[in-house]
Amino acid sequence: MSDVYVDSVTFVYKNTEEPALREVSCRIDAGSFVGVTGPSDAGKTTFCRLLPGFIPNFFGGDFEGSVTVGDVDTSTTSITSLGNAVGYVFENPFDQLTGAATTVLEEVAFGLEQRGVPSAELERRARAELERVGIVDLAERDPNTLSGGQLQRVAIASVLALEPAVLVLDEPTSQLDPDGTDAVFDAVSRIHAAGRTVVLVSQDLQRLAPRSERLLVFEDGRLVCDAPPREVLDARSLGADRSFDDAVRVPPTVDVGRRLRDRGVVPADRPLPLTVAETVEEITRHAEVVTTAIPNSDSVPDGTTRGSSVDPRIRIENARHVYESGVEALRGVTLAMNGGCVALVGHNGAGKTTLAKHLNGLLRPTAGRVVVRGTDTRTASVAELSADVGLVFQNPDDQLFRATVEDEIRFGPENLDRVDAETRVEAAIEQLTLDSVRESDTYELGRAARKRVALASVLAMRTPVIVLDEPTAGQDAAGVSIIGEAISDLVAEGRLVVCITHDVEFVRAHADRVIALSAGEVVADGTPREVFADEAVMDEAGLRAPIVTRVGEALGLRGVLHVDDLLERLA
Amino acid sequence: MADPTESGYLDRVRREFTTQTWVLIPMGVALSVVAAYVVNVVKVPFLYLDALGVVLIAILVGPWTAALTGVFVNLVEGFIVNPTFWAYTPLQVAFGLAAGYMARRGWFRRYWKVVVVGLVLAIISIVMGAPITVLAFGGVTGTGSDAVTAFFRATGSNIWSAVVGQTLVVEPIDKVVTALLAALIAERIPARYRPETAAKVLDRDR
Amino acid sequence: MNGEPVAYHPDDSVVHRLHPVTKVVLLVCCILGAYLAPVPVLLALLAALAGAASLAGVGRAVGRAAVPILVPLGVGLLVIHGLFTKGAGVALLAVGPVTLWREGVLYAVSFFGVLTAFVLAGLLFVTTTHPKKLMVSLTEKGVPRKLGYVFVASLQLVPDLQRRAGRILDAQRSRGLDTSGSPRNRILALVALLTPLLIGALISTRTRSLALEARGFSIEGPRSSLYSLVESPLDHALRVAAVLGVVALVAWRLV
């Protein structure tokens, strides 16, 4: 059997001083599903790289201990032959493809071609793997034209074609939208059910925990916890002084479950719920639900509303945008935005990014107009508008280029020619807690930290309007809270923050107003409570409501936004 | 028996070609093609940067890899932009070899030296490019540079002197900027993503 | 890049079905032939290329790609030779100080014919030859497989890198990068645009090297392919005819 043994491994990457892994030992049984989680830069990726022999065969450094897959010692076996035993799926969907395939089928067949598998068998095996991950209909497509979620499944099929016993996936969904994420998790579940060992790294415990037989938590290079997920998330079973709440993003159902136990609604010794169904089940079993309407006490903050009398910072009048390709991305959008935190939600392709690019003039409406602080965007250059609107894109690597974090953050204020550039840089460094890495090379930081650098580089421009594209993607628990606080500070200073996001839990916690887009049109605009309660709109926008709202709905309660809303209705 | 120095030399060439090298070559090719697109946006006159990818590969990996990148730059540009680029393939190969050997000898460690590399590339471009332009294309290139050729023709030059004159005006600017940009950009590559072969090339004498 | 990139047009015409190696031979022979041929033969070659393009159903695509390439070349030839190659001094047209010379125009037109054959042959080849099948067929003929990889990977990477360049441009402009202004500023702007492009490319190179290695890129030994390519009698006949044609033209030139 192909059990995996990791035996007291310590590893220090070349040219670094701190070990990336410290005396890590564990055993992964053949056929098990192991989830791996923990903060950024805690050693999760380094751990994954052990299994296919990338460490020590590709990444040089000081390696101690041993790793065996079945009866094979990884340090004395080539990456190529380990490829037959361990399949590895990387975070970035596109980069891990061969790049030399003009169709999906060629991509999946690549590994088999290299091994000289007879032509007759090639196509059959490649199609079988595509079938397994649910994309056999894409076999003839050019990989360049696929979405991230589809590409990630192509990558899974490509490594599965070599029939490895173990599949390792390093944050395969951190760059995907919710549909893509679900598709990947479902494919992985099927692969596990068919008998393969799965090791899956993710920050998304709401999806990871219910599937995992065991959860490994890494912190600072150490394997600090190796237990079934319910135990990892249950402070009592760990002992009073141990909790991993700082290290992992506690899934919302666990959060609800804990509150129910604290309140005495559910017996404290009952195992924590890991899914919405389990939460609903324990509530119906142990509590009475009082189905009175929840008063809509929230209001959209002053000045953000549609009918404001003052001229708002951003006014969009019947804006349309047709790309050169003929795609109509915006079909008559009318909006006014002035302050607060506005969440822009909707499917991929609904027009969110197109709309965001209209706010600083990167795109101009092909009909209608966009007015930013009194200036029609058609009459100003992007460089001029960048003093009014700061826009942070999703991928930090599309903008970082200077030698140090500090220098990078200075780029924006320099372009604006501001005399107080230094104070702005300092403030942004502090706001995103980057002080300890200010002298570092940005690319020596992990992706989550690089994203905060990119954010800081735009905050330092002190624009009255800030637009953020997926600010929480790939962030760990600490990162989400740093970004959340930064946004709250900005709103408190009276600035307008617009977040494009799929992270409904983040919207629930931080947004004052939710605008849902679908097919280039605004389909809902209101408080989070109003929009999330409207199932028809949520369906149209391709969104799933926050967990607590869904629990409420299953219990016949509409408009539940916080755990307190729920607790008040339970007797 | 094989000549020991020759086998050592072949060994060095062979060592240049790891899996990572084979993956870097398409990157260099695509960078050259896309650099032309970026220049188009920023609009600097007489700047083409079509040798940028080759020079970067010369710095990051070595002369032979760069030469091979050169073969593919024009092959691929011929495929997706304009088949007439195929005729200029020898130039890119020569750029790769020259930049690669100069890089190994420390010519990317000081900015004035980088300018010299750029001038060497410009000389290659003039010596090899002008004959191709005259013999294969009757003296035209289909770019803005043809205006310069026409200017020289108007002053009474024959076709050879006009094309050489044109390349003398255009090439030094393009190639010096290409070499300087390549050096600036390569220097900014974080240590962990820098191929091992690049370190020696860029590190300043201390 | 200007305009639409040229690309393979999937179809199943006689031209598409030719073995890729046949098309390489034909391409090389057409280009050599164009430079060697006397005017009547050149005209026949142009007609044959146009016919083959319409037979392959790519006439329109080839035409659309050829115009932006050929027009500047044609204008250039006309200006550089038509206006300045005086020859025997027979003027064709004189407008003010500008005189169009008969001999220069004739030279420009005949050279333009050669270049047209070059460009048409190239575009016909590109639009009817599947890059992956080209790679497979060349590998079968003994070209190192890794060179084939480089070729297809380069073609596939261009659109990917181009999209990234577009995103980088958006991101830097959003941070106030001004792409107008003095030449010095513009070159500094290029640094801000090209540096993230290169670093991103190197990051993805590392991932790709690992992925390729794990999937067996460096295994020595026999390989198989999804595509099986057949050489028909037509292929052999065309190859022989093309080579003989070029040999005949060379002989004619030498005599």
Residue C2 forms part of a structural domain: no
Confidence of residue B205 (pLDDT cuts 50, 70, 90): very low
* Residue C195 distance to chain B (closest CA, Å): 5
Domain A4-238, CATH among 1.10.10.10, 3.40.50.300, 2.60.120.330, 3.10.100.10: 3.40.50.300
**Does position B204 have pLDDT exceeding 60, yes or no?**
no
Q: What's the CATH class of domain B4-202? A: mainly alpha
Give which of B14, B16, B19, B34 to mutate to test C binding, by max C Cβ within 10 Å: B34
**Beta-bridge mates of residue A34:** A199, A214
CB atoms within 10 A of CB A13: 17
Instruction: Please state, in angstroms and rounded to a whole number, the distance separating the CA atoms of residues A25 and A43.
Output: 13
Instruction: Please state, in angstroms and rounded to a whole number, the distance separating the CA atoms of residues A405 and A446.
Output: 13
Residue C202 forms part of a structural domain: yes
Read off the DSSP letter of residue A14: T
Q: Is C170 on the interface with A (CB under 8 A)?
A: yes
**What average pLDDT values come out for chain C (255 residues) when binned by 10 residues?**
70 92 95 93 94 93 92 92 80 79 89 95 94 91 90 92 94 89 86 93 91 89 86 94 94 89
Chain B residues whose CB is inside 8 A of the C69 CB are: 82-84, 142
Residue bearing the bigger pLDDT, B11 or A324: A324
Instruction: Please state, in angstroms and rounded to a whole number, the distance separating the CA atoms of residues A330 and A522.
Output: 9
ipTM of the complex: 0.90
Query: Is residue C64 located within the same domain as residue C108?
Result: yes
Domain ranges of chain B: 4-202
CB contact under 8 A, C213 and A411: no
CB contact under 8 A, C213 and B19: yes
CB contact under 8 A, C76 and B141: yes
Contact A187, A156 (CB under 8 A): yes
Instruction: Please state, in angstroms and rounded to a whole number, the distance separating the CA atoms of residues A322 and A327.
Output: 6
Residue C111 forms part of a structural domain: yes
Give which of A58, A97, A171, A324 to mutate to test C binding, by max C Cβ within 10 Å: A97
Chain B residues whose CB is inside 8 A of the C197 CB are: 31, 34, 38
* Residue A403 distance to chain B (closest CA, Å): 6
C170: containing domain: 144-214
Residue bearing the bigger pLDDT, B163 or A541: B163
Query: Is residue C55 located within the same domain as residue C151?
Result: no
Q: pLDDT tens digits, residue range B123-136?
A: 999 999 999 999 99
The residue type found at C64 is: R
In Å, how far from its chain's centre is CA C136? 20
**What average pLDDT values come out for chain A (571 residues) when binned by 10 residues?**
90 90 96 95 95 92 94 92 94 91 93 90 93 93 91 94 95 89 94 95 95 95 93 73 80 92 89 94 89 65 51 92 92 93 91 94 95 93 92 92 92 86 92 92 89 94 94 90 95 95 93 94 93 89 90 90 88 72
pLDDT at C228: 85
Query: Is residue C84 located within the same domain as residue C113?
Result: yes
Average pLDDT over residues B64-78: 94
Residue C39 forms part of a structural domain: yes
Residue C6 forms part of a structural domain: no
pLDDT at A296: 64
Average pLDDT over residues B102-114: 91
- Angle C115-C117-C119 (CA atoms, 0-180°, nearest 5)? 70
The candidate with the shortest Cα–Cα distance to A467, out of A392, A542, A559, A372, is: A392
pLDDT at B37: 85
CB atoms within 10 A of CB A250: 18
Q: Where in chain A is the domain with CATH 3.40.50.300?
A: 4-238, 314-546
Q: Nearest chain C Cα to A466, which residue? A: C174
Confidence of residue B89 (pLDDT cuts 50, 70, 90): very high
Query: Is residue C37 located within the same domain as residue C97?
Result: yes
pLDDT at A306: 46
Fold observed for domain A314-546: Rossmann fold (3.40.50)
The β-bridge relationship of strands A328-337 and A314-322 is antiparallel
pLDDT at C182: 85
Q: Is C146 on the interface with B (CB under 8 A)?
A: yes
Domain total of chain C? 2
Chain A residues whose CB is inside 8 A of the B23 CB are: 99
CB contact under 8 A, B84 and C119: yes
pLDDT at A303: 46
Chain B residues whose CB is inside 8 A of the A444 CB are: 190-192
pLDDT at B10: 74
Interface of B with C in 44-63 (CB under 8 A): 44, 52, 56
Greatest alpha-carbon pair distance for chain A in Å reads: 74
CB contact under 8 A, A386 and C196: no
**Does position B164 have pLDDT exceeding 60, yes or no?**
yes
Which of A96, A116, A400 lies at the smallest CB-CB distance from C211?
Answer: A96
Query: Is residue C39 located within the same domain as residue C123?
Result: yes
Q: Is B150 on the interface with C (CB under 8 A)?
A: yes
pLDDT at A300: 60
CB atoms within 10 A of CB A60: 12
pLDDT at A146: 92
Q: What tokens does C164 get?
A: 């990234």
